[in-house]
Amino acid sequence: MYLEVKEMKKSYGEGGSYIQVLKGITTGVEKGEMCVIEGTSGSGKSTFLNCIGGLDLLDSGSILVDGKEIVGMKPDKLSDYRRDNLGFIFQFYNLIPNLTVRENIQVCEYLSKSPLNMEELLETLGLTEHQNKFPSQLSGGQQQRCAIARALIKNPKLLLCDEPTGALDSKTSRDILALLEKVNEKYGTTMLIVTHNNSIKNMVHKVIRIKDGQISKEYYNETRVPAMELEDL
């Protein structure tokens, strides 16, 4: 098992403002799988992702990534873990406005000891002709492609996607999901995709549904639907 989570608990606040967001989640994802984390707003799915990404610290529990325990890591080791293992894609692109597409990607390329080939990645994501443009010159879909390229250039083993299509229209969402599908097939990248969109679950290997801080259901898709055939995005 590439990712193993055991009895994950996370709360915020204290006293009258105390709220337990995650209430003992145990699950796992195999290497190379695409996995959707679905649930309504406030169910705990983004907190779940942030804990795996080392952005939030657990109250208790265990997170094993490729056999390494990340709970209890010191800050410098946690930074190394994020740099060497993870790629992040968010709903909002967080591109640097005064850098070109290529330069935005290079910011993360320099962090990796074994980055992917820049030209190949630009071609795979359809960004070759846009590489010298600034974010303000790109459409929303092109900006998200750039954000994906920036996350992938490090050649991460685990890609964490938090509502990657949340700010996009249905056609562009389908294009972005098809790109993630292509990346998974080409590079074997393990992916966790947080979404409230009910259709995306049909294209992945595994679905984990979180409700009120607990797993209400998890299952594997026996038959997957290609991203370009998804409906109601």
Read off the pLDDT of residues 106-153 as tens digits, 9 standing for 90 and up. Answer: 999 988 888 999 999 999 888 999 999 999 999 998 998 999 999 999
**Res. 216 pLDDT band, cuts 50 70 90:** very high
Q: What is the pLDDT of residue 184?
A: 92
Residues 78-117 pLDDT 10s: 999 998 899 998 888 889 999 999 999 999 998 888 899 9
Tell me the percentage of the chain whose pLDDT exceeds 70: 100
**Could you give the number of structural domains in the chain?**
1
Q: For 47, how many CA atoms within 13 A lie in the half-sphere containing its CB?
A: 26
| DSSP state letter for 145 | H
Instruction: Determine the Cα–Cα distance for residues 18 and 25; give it in Å rounded to an integer.
Output: 19
Q: 86 and 160 in contact (C-beta within 8 Å)? A: yes
* CA angle at 33 for the pair 186 and 94, rounded to the nearest 5°: 75
- The average pLDDT across 31-36 equals 97
pTM over 0.85: yes
Structural domain of 57: 3-229
Q: What is the pLDDT of residue 172?
A: 85
Q: 197 and 39 in contact (C-beta within 8 Å)? A: no
> Which parts of 34-92 fold into alpha helices (H)?
45-52, 75-85
User: 42: domain CATH number?
Assistant: 3.40.50.300
Helix 140-152 and helix 101-109, axial crossing angle in degrees, nearest 10: 20
5 phi/psi in degrees, rounded to 5: -115, 130
Helix 140-152 and helix 170-187, axial crossing angle in degrees, nearest 10: 20
Average pLDDT, the chain: 92
**Res. 198 pLDDT band, cuts 50 70 90:** confident
Q: Identify the CA nearest to 98 among candidates 125, 152, 148, 137.
A: 137
Q: Identify the CA nearest to 149 among candidates 126, 171, 172.
A: 126
Handedness of CA 56, 62, 64, 67 (dihedral sign): positive
DSSP-assigned beta bridge partners for residue 64: 4, 69
